[in-house]
Structures are given as structure tokens and as C-alpha cells.
Amino acid sequence: MTASTTQLSLDLVGVFVFALSGGLAAVRARLDLFGVAVVASVTALGGGVLRDTLLAENPPYSLRHWPYLIVPVVASAVVFRWHPQVSRARKLVLVLDGAGLGLFTVTATQKSLEAGLGWAGATMVGVITGIGGGVLRDVLLRQIPVVLQREIYAVAALIGAGLVCLGHSISQLHAPWLIGTALVVFAVRMLALRRHWSAPTPRNLEDQAGG
Amino acid sequence: MTASTTQLSLDLVGVFVFALSGGLAAVRARLDLFGVAVVASVTALGGGVLRDTLLAENPPYSLRHWPYLIVPVVASAVVFRWHPQVSRARKLVLVLDGAGLGLFTVTATQKSLEAGLGWAGATMVGVITGIGGGVLRDVLLRQIPVVLQREIYAVAALIGAGLVCLGHSISQLHAPWLIGTALVVFAVRMLALRRHWSAPTPRNLEDQAGG
Amino acid sequence: MTASTTQLSLDLVGVFVFALSGGLAAVRARLDLFGVAVVASVTALGGGVLRDTLLAENPPYSLRHWPYLIVPVVASAVVFRWHPQVSRARKLVLVLDGAGLGLFTVTATQKSLEAGLGWAGATMVGVITGIGGGVLRDVLLRQIPVVLQREIYAVAALIGAGLVCLGHSISQLHAPWLIGTALVVFAVRMLALRRHWSAPTPRNLEDQAGG
């Protein structure tokens, strides 16, 4: 496989897994078949669509390449038919989801730097791309986005985006640096899951009613 | 009337009816006059704004043509003043809403094909345009989007978008095909309403608590 | 200070205060440190990002100028550490927020007119920019947007956008007019807060259950 075929394949695996996570959440919210497909597609493609919109590269890449649109449909069918099994394979889904997070964040940050954004803007686009699909999924399903509440998820994306910017500023933004960064994001996410790491929450909330 | 005047008039009728549906939902959520106007405008224009953003045709068409901005304001005033009557005319609103769905989906899919998208991307933009306003309405009012939960609504849009792509691929994308497709969307939606058709929902959910 | 330095400073004060309001809401919803930073950033920058997207000026201005991205992070840290004190300074936050509303609405409406939009489109972009961040904040925190429910907030933005369009049409869109308009928005908002003004809500709702 050439480099770009590898990249495409990895990208589609990420899309598939993000779609599985979106589809599972939609099944639990008792949406119908079409609702499951919509939520799965939004979860899988939403981050990339936000990225391309922010970088003024619309129509979004995914809308111009049909495999990106077929993969979420396939994932929806799988979830719809075999959701008890997919649920039971939750650990595998979480592992693949962590890999997707690393991949999407790294490529989006790199794309943003190439589009001329500085480190702060590129980091923001990278994080938005990594967590955007999951945030849209939760908004559609009327949840406060889980990535904003607990677990080191967005922080892993933030670290990845920062490392890509660092690589860029020291002119090391080649394949090894990018792959290494994606692996770091993946490792941080896996460690956070295994050790139940959480970002700190504010103190002194006793005197305030929750929203 | 010329073809484009007809198109504009139909389009504005669709905008008016979508605004009525958004305004009614906002009144039921007890929003104030301004909130009703915002939700009505978002419902009526949201799908088209998403379409133009995805197709990189911003500023959105509706923002460049003032009748599109006045019509939702008029609809809001009507709903605000006469919402019990509008509620009672619910069937008429649903019928006109189905017509709007057909019109918006067909024109958006056609526009996407003209912008160079393939059938998969054009179908997605068509469906997003058709259902986008209603999804935004429900998100603003803190509901899980009703079009994702029950009734054949988005499926009608999907069929319409697919038929436009088919017409394009066999070089038949002229007025009769477009009008026929819009009528098919309308007919599917009306039949679904009358016969209480629903898309299938997943089985084996007994062991999982709803979201 | 030059005019543009003044503008930038005022803009960043507005960003800071909007971020404080977003951060406080996120702390009350018990988000973690990262969630607080995300909600604060979205509240502070969301309106401007919507504006630049609608006006086809992406990448958004804020993503191309790092102070815009640092200020919400600083505001998040302040809220996270001292939220009881920030809560107690609620009146000050509301006053500064009103100033931000005036500033953001006026500059966005002006920018839209310069981009060639008519008065209706420019007014809409101005209002969207002024209230957009707060709407996104509430959607992320699973609230019906407060600006749609009570208090004269969006109406103040609407008046400001209208005055900018009026100034444009009589060729008076110079600094005094713009500053005066921002002050009018601020004054309307302050009066509404002090006198508990609200926009009217619909009557005859007794027979309908709330959404």
C-alpha cells in the first residue's frame, strides 16, 4: 500500500468506529433505523465537516469521496442488527475510538498548519475535529457532551495537537513525528481509560444547585 | 409567472410553513416573542444555510434575499397571535410541510450536483437541507429531533434525493423529473402520515435502559 | 492607542466576559476543567465564528489571531479557581456582558454591510453574532437558550443591528454612529435588567402542556 492508501484506510477505520459509537448511542436512545444512520453519520463525519468549514475547504472532503458516506451506513446497519454484540465488544470499540481520535486530531492539526493557521488556531481546529463528532452526537441525543464531563478525552486531543505544532515549529513534521504523535494520543487515552483518570472538577460547589 | 418566479413563490411558501412549525413548537415551549421569531427563522432557513455553507456558497442565499428573512417574521407574528387556530389547522400545516420537504430536498440535491458533488454527497446535502431546519428547531428546544425518532420523514427526503441523482445520471434532470420527484416525496410523506408508517426500530432493547 | 488597538482591546474584553459567563455556566453544570474551557471558548468565540462562516471569511478571525484563543483559556482558569467570587461579582459580569453584546453586534452588522449584504441579511448576521455564543453555550449544557426565553437580550441586539443599517443607508456609518449604537444596545440591556423588562409571551396556553 502507498502512503496515501494507508492514510485513507486508517481514516475509514476511524470513520467506521466513530459511526459505531454514534449508532450505539442512537440505538440506546431508541431512535429508528434512519435516526441511527443520521446520528452515526454525524458522529463519524461531523468533526471533519467542521474542520473543512473552518478552513474554508468546503464542500467537505467526506462529501466529495463516497466511501466516507457509505462506511457510516454500513456501520449503522451493523449496529442496528447486532447492537447487543457491539455493546459487548465495548472495550474493542473504545480502543479503536482512541485510535481514531489520535488519527483525526493529528491530520486536522497538520492540515490547519498547512492552511496557514498559527499554533493556537491549528490546535483549536485539531481539538474541534477530534471531539466535534462526539459533541454533536451528544447534542442530538440531548446529552451534555460526555467528553466535556469526565475522562481524559479532549485532553488527549489537546496534547496531540500541541505535539504536531511543536513538530512544525522545529521543522520535524514528517511521517515519523505524525505517527508518533497519533500513538501518544492513543496511549494517553488508553491509560486514562484503564486508570480512570479524570480532569479536575471545580471545588466549593456545595452552595450552588446544579444546572 | 416565469419559471423562476414560480420557484421563488414555492420556495417562500415552504419557508412560511417551516416557520409556522418552528413557531408553534416555540410557543409550546413558552418562549417569548423574540424566541418564537428566532426558532421560526432557524427552522425555516436553517436547512438552506447549512446547504450553502456545505457548498461554499456563503453568504447564504436567504441572507442575500430579504423576502426570505421577512417571511419567517410574518409567520412568527401569525403564530404568536393566533397559535390556537394554527394548532387546530395542524393537518394543513403538516400537508404544506410535506410539500416544503419535497421542494427543499429536490432543489438542494440539484444544486449539489451542479456544484460538482457526486451522488453520495449530493444525496447527503439534499437530506441535510430537507431535515436540517427541523433538527435545529428541536435541538434549540431541547428535544431529541423528532425526524430521527418516528415517522417516515427523512426517508421521504432520502428517496427524493436519490431520484434526483438518478435523473442526473440518465440526463433527465429537467423540470418534469424535478417536479415529479418533489411530488413523490410529498406523496410518501402524506402516505406515511395517514397510515402511521414508521421506520423500523431496533429489537432486543429490553436489557438496556433508555438514554 | 490607535483606533484599531482600541477596537482590539474592547473586543478582547468582550471575549473575556463572554468566556466568564460560559465558564460559570459550565462550572454549575459540574463539567471538568477541560469542559469548562471548551464551553467558555465556544461562548466567547462562537458568535464570531458563525459570523465569519456566514460571510465566507473563514478561517475565522479568532482562529487567525492567538490572543482570541488565549483569553478564553485565562478566563476559564479564573472561573475554575475563583468561581464563588466570580459568581458574587455577577452584576459586574452582566454589565460587561451587555457591553460585549453591543460591541459584537455593531461590528458584525457593519462587517456584513461591507461584505455586500442588504439590511435584512446584515441585521440577521448582527443578531446571530451577538446572541450566537450564548445560544451555543446553552445548547451544549442542555438548556433551552436563555436569550430566547426571557429578558430583553436579543431585542437589544436587534435594535443595535437596525441602527447600524440605518446609519449605513444615510451614509453616517462613522465612528460616532457606531459607538453611539453600541451604547444604545448597552443602555437597553441595562434598563431591561434593572426594570426586569421581558418580551411578551403568548397567551391562551392553558390548554396546552408545555414542551
Of C175, C199, C179, nearest to C189 (Cα)? C199
Closest-CA residue of C relative to A126 is C63
Chain B residues within an 8 Å CB radius of C147 = 35
Give pLDDT, residue B209: 42
SS3 B31: coil
Q: Do B27 and C205 touch (CB under 8 A)?
A: yes
**pLDDT 10s digits, B67-111:** 999 999 999 999 888 888 777 777 877 888 888 889 899 999 999
Chain B contacts to A (CB-CB under 8 A): 53-56, 112, 115-121, 123-125, 131, 135, 139, 142-145, 147-150, 154-155, 158, 198-202, 204-205, 207-211
Chain B nearest C-alpha distance from C81 (Å) = 30
Q: How confident is the model at residue B210 (pLDDT cuts 50, 70, 90)?
A: very low
Residue in C35, C36, C70 nearest the CB of A120 = C70
Q: Which of the pair, A173 or B126, is modelled with greater confidence?
A: B126
Q: Do A41 and B124 touch (CB under 8 A)?
A: yes
Q: Which three cell numbers stand for residue A171?
A: 521543522
Residue in C121, C124, C211 nearest the CB of B28 = C211
Mutate to test the interface with C, among B12, B33, B34, B85 (most CBs of C within 10 A): B34
Residue in C118, C149, C200 nearest the CB of B66 = C118
Give pLDDT, residue A151: 66
Residue in B34, B64, B70 nearest the CB of C154 = B34
Give pLDDT, residue B207: 45
- C171-to-A48, A55, A203, C107, C174 alpha-carbon distances in Å: 42, 34, 53, 16, 8
Closest-CA residue of A relative to B202 is A80
**What residues in chain A have per-residue pLDDT under 70?**
1-3, 150-151, 198-199, 203-211
**pLDDT 10s digits, A55-75:** 999 899 999 999 999 999 999
Give partners of A (≥3 CB pairs < 8 A). Answer: B, C
Q: What are phi and psi of A149, to 5 degrees?
A: -105, -45
Give pLDDT, residue B56: 92
Q: What is the dihedral of CA C122, C117, C68, A53, to 10 degrees?
A: 120
Q: Which of the pair, A88 or B121, is modelled with greater confidence?
A: B121
Mutate to test the interface with C, among B32, B39, B88 (most CBs of C within 10 A): B32
Q: Do A34 and B154 touch (CB under 8 A)?
A: yes
d(CA C93, CA C16): 10
Of B26, C150, B210, C146, nearest to A211 (Cα)? C146
pLDDT for residue B142 is more than 90: no
> Which ipTM was obtained for this model?
0.83
Q: Which of the pair, B81 or B197, is modelled with greater confidence?
A: B81
Give pLDDT, residue B3: 59
Chain B nearest C-alpha distance from A35 (Å) = 4
Q: Do C140 and A125 touch (CB under 8 A)?
A: no
Residue with cell 403564530: B79
Of B107, C61, C12, nearest to A56 (Cα)? C61
d(CA C70, CA C85): 22
3-state helix, strand, coil in chain C (%, to 5): 75, 0, 25
Q: Which three cell numbers stand for residue B193?
A: 402520515
Closest-CA residue of A relative to C65 is A121
Chain C residues within an 8 Å CB radius of A118 = 64, 66
Contacts of C143 (CB under 8 A, 6+ apart): A211, B142
Give pLDDT, residue A86: 77
Of A23, A2, A13, A1, nearest to A182 (Cα)? A13
**pLDDT 10s digits, A3-28:** 577 778 878 888 998 999 899 888 88
Residue in A117, A131, A148 nearest the CB of C31 = A148
b/e sequence A156-187, b meaning 16+ C-beta within 10 Å: bbbbbbbbbbebbeeeebeeebbeebbebbbe
Residue A72 contacts residue A40 (beta carbons within 8 Å): yes
String of DSSP letters for C158-193: HHHHHHHHHHHHTT--SHHHHHHHHHHHHHHHHHHH
Q: What is the DSSP letter of A58?
A: P
Chain B residues within an 8 Å CB radius of C157 = none
Contacts of A84 (CB under 8 A, 6+ apart): B204, B207
pLDDT for residue B208 is more than 70: no
d(CA C132, CA C208): 29
Chain B residues within an 8 Å CB radius of C145 = 35, 140
- Quote the pTM value: 0.88
Give pLDDT, residue C39: 92
> Tens-digit pLDDT profile for chain C (211 aa)?
455 777 788 788 889 989 998 998 888 888 888 889 999 999 999 999 999 999 999 899 999 999 999 999 999 999 888 888 777 777 877 888 888 889 899 999 999 999 999 999 999 999 999 999 989 998 998 888 888 876 678 889 999 999 999 999 998 888 889 989 999 999 998 888 887 776 677 766 644 444 3
